[in-house]
Amino acid sequence: MQVKCLIICLGLGLLMLSTGPVCEARRARGRGRTKSRVQIGLPITGKYRDPESDQYYNNNNGAKILQASHFDLEYVLGHKIAFLCVAKGNPRPHITWYKDGAEIYQHLYMHVHEWTIGDDRVKSKIEIDPATQMDAGLYECTADNMYSIDRRSFKTDFSIAFD
C-alpha cells in the first residue's frame, strides 16, 4: 500500500511530498517572485498609447538619482550617520528627504547640506550626530523636476557598542 503525503508549511516555505511511508521535504518557491514592472524605489517607465505622453513621461531630462547611500545601514548609538543623494536632470532636480514617510527638516542634531554641480546636478547629504534610537527607520531621498520623480530608500537600525 502506498501512502501519499502532502504537507505545506507556509511559515517555513516547505513543501513535503512522498509516495512512500517517509515524507521528503523540499523548499517551495516563495511568494515574492513576480514579473511586475513596478518596484519600490525605482521609476516607472514604459510605452504609452500616444507619442506625446510617451515623450513626456520618458523624457531624458527627467530627474534621475545617480548616486545614493547603501540601502541597509546599522549604526552605533552616539555616533554620526550620514546619507548621500546625487541627482541629475534639466531643470536641475530638487531633493527632499523623508523619514518613515514624513518630510524631515534640519534641526540641532540633524543637518542637511546641498551643493549644486554644474547646470544639471545636485548633491544632498543628511548628517545626524549623535545618532539615537529614535533615528532608526526608513529614510528616503526624492529627486524631482518638472518631468519626473526618482527616489531611493535607506533602512537604518542601531547597534550598541560596548567599550
Sign, CA dihedral 143-145-150-151, equals positive
Whether residue 77 contacts residue 101, with contact meaning beta carbons closer than 8 Å, is answered with: no
DSSP 43: -
Give me the phi and psi of 53, to 5 degrees please: -65, -45
- Tell me the per-residue pLDDT of 95-139, one tens digit each, with 9 for 90 and over: 999 999 999 998 899 999 999 999 999 999 999 999 999 999 999
Going from the C-alpha of 108 to that of each of 20, 59, 74, 97, the distances in angstroms are: 68, 39, 22, 16
When the pLDDT of each residue in the chain is averaged and rounded to a whole number, the result is 77
User: Domain limits of the chain?
Assistant: 65-159
Is residue 163 helix, strand or coil?
A: coil
Task: Identify the architecture of domain 65-159 in CATH.
Answer: Sandwich (2.60)
pTM tops 0.75, yes or no: no
